Amino acid sequence: MAIAFALAVVSMQSAQAQTYTVLHNFTGGQDGGTSFAALTMDRAGNLYGTTYYGGSANQGVVFKLTRKGGSFVFNTLHSFGNGEGIGSYSKVTIGPDGSLYGTTQTGVSGPGCGGMGCGTVYNLRLPPTACKAALCDWSYSLVYQFPDGGANGALPTSAPIFDQNGNMLGATPGDLGQCCGNVYELKPSNGNWTQSVLYSFTGGSDGNYPTGDVIWDQAGNLYGVTYMGGTHGGGVVYQMVPSGSGWTENVLYSFDATSDPDGGLVFDKSGNLYGTTTGDGGSGIGTVFMLSPAGGAWTSTVLYTFSKWEEPRSSLVMDAAGNLYGTADRGGKERGGTIFKLTPGNGGWTYTLLKEFDDPCDEGCFPRGGVILDASGNLYGTTSGGGTHGQGVVYEITP
């Protein structure tokens, strides 16, 4: 990856005065366990998330943390049961109708993907009648089941997003036994959803194994990354442009052989893209990068190279001042993962360690899903391990 030294001068600061609070310790029971996904926040400041395991059938749950004054109250909204999908890697999306949409990696059933089924898109709605119980299961419906691991896609690990017409779009990495993932669309019609494939990756210079959420620009183009493929085999950043009869893929950047981006992208106000790689083309310890458009091309700059085998796999988030926040689910002093901040200034970026998860992981370990910000600058996220029961936590960091 090309390095622009004038922009990539980086210094390091020790952890600032931050307050880290565990909001919930997962037990692995009805509340779920092992959350790989980022949280989602509604306008009232309530938090929603998913777990890969736990629940009534040990197939994962969707949960909510309701903000009440200065604290949060945890509720399980739904436990995935038989015929509903197994294991969610993705966050939930709040749809235009106010209900929740998400994906499970496997299930319901089918001939592909080892007989486990190749994943689902689901919807959760508030109960149709007022619920008087303390815990109310939301109404589940299956939006789409990926059928066989072939051209229609398989094993979704990212959340769907909506366009202005109420259609859902997303990406699937595909069944590892087949090539090579796709970008798909789901259109609603008379209470049903119809899937179409917008683009199928070939595994060559166009990319292979798309990961992370896709995002929009203001012109209605889609952007995402693939973990593999590209000119050098280390993944690509791609753009999907709608045309009269379909979509056209443009490869904006091909990474070096061992870069392997695994999270999504984020735009700044100037149209630059930011993301992370699990390697750096050489030492395999992870980077934060920026792609800048100029003259019809995109220039890559490494903003920060990690030094303790962090291998970040989550999307970044940017605040109004242009600071970047993210997580690394490994690395740090005791390999339990870190939460970090990158601050622009004086022609470079300053790295600040906000949280380092230590052995024995009483406060959580392995923060895979990234963080989100509220209007007050507080950070929220999950860990996939550690905590009181070893099943992960939901945490808050206040400045």
pLDDT band at 184 (very low <50, low <70, confident <90, very high): very high
Contact 53, 28 (CB under 8 A): yes
- For residues 137-148, give the mean pLDDT: 90
Q: 5 pLDDT exceeds 70? A: no
Every domain range in the chain assigned CATH 2.130.10.130: 30-324
Confidence (pLDDT) at 4: 39
| CA 54 – CA 28 distance, rounded (Å) | 5
Identify whether the C-beta of residue 174 lies closer than 8 Å to the C-beta of residue 181: yes
Name residue, tokens 């798909």.
Answer: 184
Largest CA distance in the chain: 61
Q: Under a CB-based contact definition with an 8 Å cutoff, are residues 123 and 101 in contact? A: yes
Can you tell me the distance from the alpha carbon of 330 to that of 312, in angstroms, rounded to the nearest whole number?
Answer: 7
> Could you tell me if 355 and 339 are in contact, meaning their C-beta atoms sit under 8 angstroms apart?
yes
What integer pLDDT is reported at residue 177 of this predicted model? 65
The C-alpha atoms of residue 325 and residue 380 are separated, in whole angstroms, by 11
**Omega before 317 cis (within 30°)?**
no
φ and ψ of 115, to 5 deg: 80, 0
- Any idea which residue has 């970044």 for tokens? 316
For 119-133, what is the mean pLDDT? Answer: 81
Give the CATH superfamily of 30-324: Integrin alpha, N-terminal (2.130.10.130)
Query: For 60-92, how does the pLDDT look when each residue is reduced to its tens digit (9 = 90+)?
Result: 999 999 999 889 999 999 999 988 999 999 999
Mean pLDDT of 4-32: 73
Q: Is 115 helix (H, G, I), strand (E, B) or coil?
A: helix
Length of the chain: 399
- Rounded-to-integer distance, Cα 373 and Cα 319, Å: 8
CA atoms of 358 and 132, how far apart (whole Å): 42
Q: Cα–Cα distance between 29 and 178 in angstroms, integer?
A: 35
Q: From the CB of residue 308, how many other CB atoms can be counted at a distance below 10 Å?
A: 16
Cβ-contact 288, 303 below 8 angstroms: yes
Bond before 180 cis per omega within 30 degrees = yes
Question: Can you tell me the distance from the alpha carbon of 342 to that of 324, in angstroms, rounded to the nearest whole number?
Answer: 5
Give the pLDDT confidence score for residue 115 in this predicted structure. Answer: 73
For residue range 366-383, what is the model confidence (pLDDT) as tens digits? 999 999 999 999 999 999
What is the predicted pLDDT for the residue at 111?
Answer: 67
Among candidate residues 256, 262, 208, the one with its CA nearest the CA of residue 232: 256
Residue 7, pLDDT score: 43
Confidence band, pLDDT 50/70/90 cuts, at residue 127: confident
Query: In the chain, what is the straight-line distance between the N-terminal and C-terminal CA atoms, in Å?
Result: 33
Which helix (DSSP H) or strand (DSSP E) does residue 358 occupy? none
pLDDT of residue 8: 43
The answer to whether 7 touches 348, Cβ cutoff 8 Å, is yes
- 1-10, 15-24, 288-297: lowest mean pLDDT where? 1-10
What was the pLDDT predicted at 283? 61
Distance of CA 112 to the CA centre of its chain: 25
Give residue 265's pLDDT band: very low, low, confident or very high (50, 70, 90): very high
Q: What was the pLDDT predicted at 10?
A: 46
- pLDDT, position 2: 43
Residue by residue, DSSP assigns 1-67 as ----TTT-EEEEE---S-EEEEEEE--SSTT-B---S--EE-TT--EEEE-SB-TTTTS-EEEEEEE
Who wins on pLDDT, 324 or 310?
324
Most trustworthy range by pLDDT among 142-151, 300-309, 315-324:
315-324
pLDDT in tens, 210-254: 999 999 999 999 999 999 999 999 999 999 999 888 999 999 999
> Contact 2/372 with Cβ under 8 angstroms?
no
Please count the helices (runs of H) and the strands (runs of E) in the chain.
0, 29
Give 46-64 pLDDT, tens digit per residue: 999 999 999 999 999 999 9
CB under 8 Å to 131, separation ≥6 — which residues? none
Nearest alpha-carbon partner for 192 in 87, 245, 121: 121
CA distances, 29 to each of 52, 56, 57 (Å): 12, 7, 9
Q: With bands split at pLDDT 50, 70 and 90, how would you rate the model's confidence at 108?
A: confident
pLDDT at 9: 42
Phi-psi region of 202 (alpha: psi -120 to 50; beta: other; left: phi over 0): alpha
Yes or no: say if 264 and 225 are a contact pair by the CB < 8 Å rule: yes
